[in-house]
Amino acid sequence: MEPPPSNVLLRFPLSTVLLLLIGLAMANKTMDTREGENVILKCRFNEHYSDREYSYYWAQQSPNKYDNVAIKGDTFNPNYKIDYRPNQGIYDLQIFNVSYARDNGRFECRIKQIGSDNAIYEDYYNLTVLTPPQPPLIFPGSETTATEDKKQELTCSSVGGSPDPTISWYREGSTTPLAANLIYGGSRDMQTTSTLTIIPRREDDGAKFTCVVWNRAMPESQRLETVTTLSVNLKMIDELRLGQLIEHFQEEGN
């Protein structure tokens, strides 16, 4: 069967388009919380599915596991509770005394027709248990010795943080962030790094570069910062020329 020409407008039933849009919206739900708090992940649906014909469950997905946390009205953890009222379109998961180790990750609410693997309703939450990052460190250190016209890397790292922190580089006197290579840690036990690559010029001697770290666990006005000062050595050829000039002036002085 030939594919339709590129200039042909494909038409879909309005109900199909609405379902696709709803699915995209559901996939993007996020919720922030903190250690020790209580949260409710709402799973609501318009149709009132019969308990006898459909199965209901909540599952959690994290980098290392995918587990069911509730089936119908039963949960598998004392810190979880289900508000199970399918005839009212309600299947909410309540989480008490939130902890990062247990609860940080993606939660999925699914309704399936019994005997089928296809979900007739799905809802998703990315639950982030907020944790501030640790103060940043710069490598090579608070003072960086570089050579004129030779590539130099400055690496700033911050361990932990949920979500992964953003790390930005600034040169003293400028509010424009510098382009750098950012690598996220992926969990609060790993470090996020940002590497700034520069080609030092002689006029960069003494320049200061600031690394700035932030994530949503911190107040909007707070930042974690550290600074490195650049010391630029002249190229060897310039050092030779400088020596020749000194000799020349010494000879003229004699």
CATH number at residue 199: 2.60.40.10
Residue 254 lies in a domain: no
Residue 38 lies in a domain: yes
Picking from 84, 102, 129, the residue at the C-terminal end of a domain is 129
- What burial letters (b/e) apply to 176-201, b meaning 16+ CB within 10 Å? eebebebebbebbeebbbbbbebebe
Residue 87 lies in a domain: yes
Q: Clarify whether residues 169 and 109 are in a common domain.
A: no
Tokens 């996939």, residue located: 27
Q: Clarify whether residues 125 and 193 are in a common domain.
A: no
Picking from 129, 148, 182, the residue at the C-terminal end of a domain is 129
pLDDT block averages, 10 residues each, the chain of length 254: 41 42 56 98 83 89 86 96 94 97 95 87 96 97 96 97 97 98 94 98 97 98 98 75 67 65
pLDDT of residue 117: 82
Q: Clarify whether residues 53 and 114 are in a common domain.
A: yes
Q: Looking at the 3D structure of the chain, how many domains does it have? A: 2
pLDDT of residue 27: 54
The CA distance from 120 to 5, in Å, is 33
Residue 122 buriedness (CB in 10 A; 0-12 / 13-18 / 19+): middle
Residue 201 lies in a domain: yes
Q: Clarify whether residues 210 and 192 are in a common domain.
A: yes
Q: Tell me if 107 sits within 8 A of 41, measured CB to CB.
A: yes
Q: Clarify whether residues 33 and 111 are in a common domain.
A: yes
Q: Clarify whether residues 124 and 143 are in a common domain.
A: no
pLDDT of residue 181: 98
The CA distance from 197 to 180, in Å, is 7
Domain that holds residue 82: 29-129
pLDDT of residue 3: 44
Q: Clarify whether residues 120 and 149 are in a common domain.
A: no
Q: Clarify whether residues 105 and 177 are in a common domain.
A: no
Residue 249 lies in a domain: no
Q: Clarify whether residues 195 and 120 are in a common domain.
A: no
Question: Can you give the pTM of this predicted structure?
Answer: 0.76
Residue 244 lies in a domain: no
Q: Clarify whether residues 103 and 143 are in a common domain.
A: no
pLDDT of residue 118: 84
Whether a cis peptide bond, with omega within 30° of 0, leads into 163 is yes
Residue 110 lies in a domain: yes
| Residues whose CB falls within 8 Å of the CB of residue 62, separated by 6 or more in sequence, listed in order | 104, 105, 106
Q: Clarify whether residues 123 and 148 are in a common domain.
A: no
pLDDT of residue 201: 95
Max CA pair span of the chain: 108
